Chains A and B, each alone.
Chain A
Amino acid sequence: MEHPMVDQPQQSKRDFLRYFLGGGVLAWLGAVFYPVFAYLKPPKQGDVEVTSVKAGKLSEIEKESGTIVRFGNKPVIMVRTAEGEVHAFSATCTHLDCTVQFRKDMGVIWCACHNGKYDLNGRVVSGPPPRPLDEYRVIIQADDVIISSRT
């Protein structure tokens, strides 16, 4: 009869030690590895947020042409149609991130990486891109062409 009486507290003592030490080891591992993993995650860069850029003078942009404009640290493609309209889209292909270009001979915005084609409204014509190019707003003030983000 005495045995269980003696055993019981020992068992719970053992459990307590097991959880205490096990938890201690886990906490220690967490304390060691958390900073390492956190370090691997690149911090958000405090970029100057660009909401609009001046892309040039309307009178100097030829019809049926396209150029890449820096929008902060993102490339934006500005195209001028045969009718004289100016559109601007993100120049990053929606397929796999390559930078697109205007092709006068095909009359499209073209991605060289996988032959993706967009029309001059940014809509996918053919190839692998899953969705249209993100559009930017184009404002013409006097002769200045200003590209601004949609938001």
Chain B
Amino acid sequence: MKTLWNRTFAWIDERVQLSDVMSFLGKKSVPVHRHSVWYYFGGVSLFLFIIQVVTGILLLLYYKGSEELAFESIQFIMAKVEFGWLIRSIHSWAANLFILSAFIHMFSVLFEKAYRKPRELTWLSGMILLFLGMGFGFSGYLLPWNEVSFFATKVGTDIAGVLPVVGEPLMVFLRGGEDVTGATLSRFFGFHVAVLPGIFTVMLGLHLLLVQRQGMSKPLSYEQLPATDQKTMPFFPNFMLRDLLLWLLVLNLLAILAVFFPWELGVKADPFAPAPAGIKPEWYFMFMFQTLKYIPGELWFLEGEVVGILLFSLAGLVWMFIPLWDKKSARGEENRFINYLGLFALIYIIVLTTIGWFS
């Protein structure tokens, strides 16, 4: 067995210089300090994304993306296909855990200032991945074609439509027409299983490549320690085994959630039925949605919603380009302003999400 393995390795190595990769992996190390635990969330997000790809492909074998058949095909998956209920439930739960894990990853990177030079592009690609992830969530939400998702999509796309100049064409582009219909379902299905995965994979490749090229970021306090006090751990196998153990724990958590709290399918969407009470977006859009409720209908000469959306877009841009304007962290100095900003954003999101959830 050993010789077969060695011979295979030697065969490949002779052709593609595999030993270079092995020596790179051997030298790779992870800084050890009291914030090391946050290093795991990027990996957890990656793991959950892989789960999404696998369960998504499985669902694709039975799902039918049309107004007449979408809801029924998911009923079929849940009732007739063996373990269909499990696959679908895992897909829904993992989607939510993925966004949660990506949010934790983003905030930990922010508080550690891990985005500072030379890792600006890693942060930027990560932000794009998070936006794409939310796009996955928004488009996937409609696919079961149930009452709640139908009206949530109406509201969501209508909000996009209030933007000045680009709003109307953007809304028509998203909906595939003036209204949310089967045409919207076809589009969202296409975005969800083809457009977004394609872009996401390229971005993810870039993100991971940057992490490999530059190695793990070190917190400022750690970097200032004398070289002899900078403890590290080999990536291979020490960190990787810990990573894998955590992935296993996440998989268990996912299985528990999917089995004991199965994802409901609800009632089929009927464009001629009144909207049911309690239409809410997914929790990760809730803080924005809840904010819009507090903005008065008219502000100065603009519609309240327009003001809200413009403010969120602006805040998003400022957030996305933090590495470019935070010169202090780039110079290796402590920047408390970022901590306050991060804390404010975190508390704002948690408070408004909670209010929205229970209202």
Residues of B183-234 at the interface with A, using a CB-CB cut-off of 8 Å, are 183
Q: Does A70 contact B (CB under 8 A)?
A: yes
Cβ of B275 and Cβ of A111 under 8 Å apart?
yes
Smallest beta-carbon distance A131→chain B, Å: 10
Smallest beta-carbon distance B16→chain A, Å: 36
Q: Does B12 contact A (CB under 8 A)?
A: no
Cβ of B154 and Cβ of A97 under 8 Å apart?
yes
Q: How many inter-chain residue pairs (CB < 8 Å) link A and B?
A: 62
Residue of A nearest to B171 (CB): A97
- Residues of A near B158 (CB, < 8 A) are 96-97
Q: Does A75 contact B (CB under 8 A)?
A: yes
Given contacts A41-B173, A128-B297, contact A112 B154 (CB under 8 A): no
Contact with A along B245-282 (1 / 0, CB 8 A): 00000000000000000000000000111111111000
- Residues of B near A75 (CB, < 8 A) are 271-272
Residues of A85-139 at the interface with B, using a CB-CB cut-off of 8 Å, are 91, 93, 96-101, 111-114, 128, 130
- Residues of A near B159 (CB, < 8 A) are 96
CA distance A68 to B273 in the complex (A): 7
Most buried by B among A75, A96, A99, A130: A96
Q: Does B172 contact A (CB under 8 A)?
A: yes
- Residues of B near A113 (CB, < 8 A) are 151, 155, 275, 279
Find B172's partner among A41, A73, A91, A114 (CB 8 Å cutoff): A41
Residue of B nearest to A100 (CB): B274
- Tally of A interface residues using CB under 8 Å: 22
Q: Does B237 contact A (CB under 8 A)?
A: no
Cβ of B183 and Cβ of A68 under 8 Å apart?
no
Residue of A nearest to B151 (CB): A98
Q: Does B179 contact A (CB under 8 A)?
A: yes
Contact with A along B165-178 (1 / 0, CB 8 A): 00001001101110
Residue of B nearest to A127 (CB): B297
Given contacts A41-B172, A73-B179, A130-B303, contact A112 B273 (CB under 8 A): no
Given contacts A113-B151, A113-B155, A128-B297, contact A99 B275 (CB under 8 A): yes
**How big is the B interface, by class?**
20 to 34
Q: Does B293 contact A (CB under 8 A)?
A: yes
CA distance A98 to B172 in the complex (A): 17
Residue pairs across A and B with Cβ atoms less than 8 A apart, 23 shown, are A40-B173, A42-B176, A68-B272, A68-B274, A73-B181, A73-B271, A75-B271, A75-B272, A91-B274, A93-B275, A96-B155, A96-B158, A97-B154, A97-B155, A97-B180, A99-B273, A112-B277, A112-B278, A113-B151, A114-B293, A130-B297, A130-B298, A130-B303
Given contacts A40-B173, A98-B154, contact A112 B274 (CB under 8 A): yes
- Residues of A near B154 (CB, < 8 A) are 96-98
- Residues of B near A68 (CB, < 8 A) are 272-274
Residue of A nearest to B169 (CB): A41
- Residues of B near A114 (CB, < 8 A) are 293
CA distance A131 to B192 in the complex (A): 35
- Residues of B near A8 (CB, < 8 A) are none
Given contacts A75-B272, A113-B151, 13 further A-B contacts (CB under 8 A): A45-B177, A70-B272, A73-B179, A75-B271, A97-B180, A98-B279, A100-B275, A101-B275, A112-B275, A112-B277, A112-B278, A113-B155, A128-B293
CA distance A96 to B306 in the complex (A): 13
Smallest beta-carbon distance B149→chain A, Å: 13
CA distance A75 to B172 in the complex (A): 19
- Residues of B near A100 (CB, < 8 A) are 274-275
Smallest beta-carbon distance A43→chain B, Å: 9
CA distance A128 to B162 in the complex (A): 14
CA distance A111 to B155 in the complex (A): 12
CA distance A128 to B303 in the complex (A): 11
Contact with B along A12-48 (1 / 0, CB 8 A): 0000000000000000000000000000111001000
CA distance A13 to B265 in the complex (A): 69
- Residues of B near A70 (CB, < 8 A) are 272
Q: Which 3 A-B pairs have the closest CB atoms?
A: A101-B274, A98-B275, A112-B277
CA distance A130 to B298 in the complex (A): 9
Contact with B along A49-61 (1 / 0, CB 8 A): 0000000000000
Residue of A nearest to B179 (CB): A73
CA distance A94 to B154 in the complex (A): 12
Given contacts A96-B158, A98-B279, A113-B279, contact A42 B274 (CB under 8 A): no
Residue of A nearest to B152 (CB): A113
Most buried by B among A91, A98, A130: A98
CA distance A58 to B172 in the complex (A): 38
Contact with A along B281-308 (1 / 0, CB 8 A): 0000000000001000110000100000
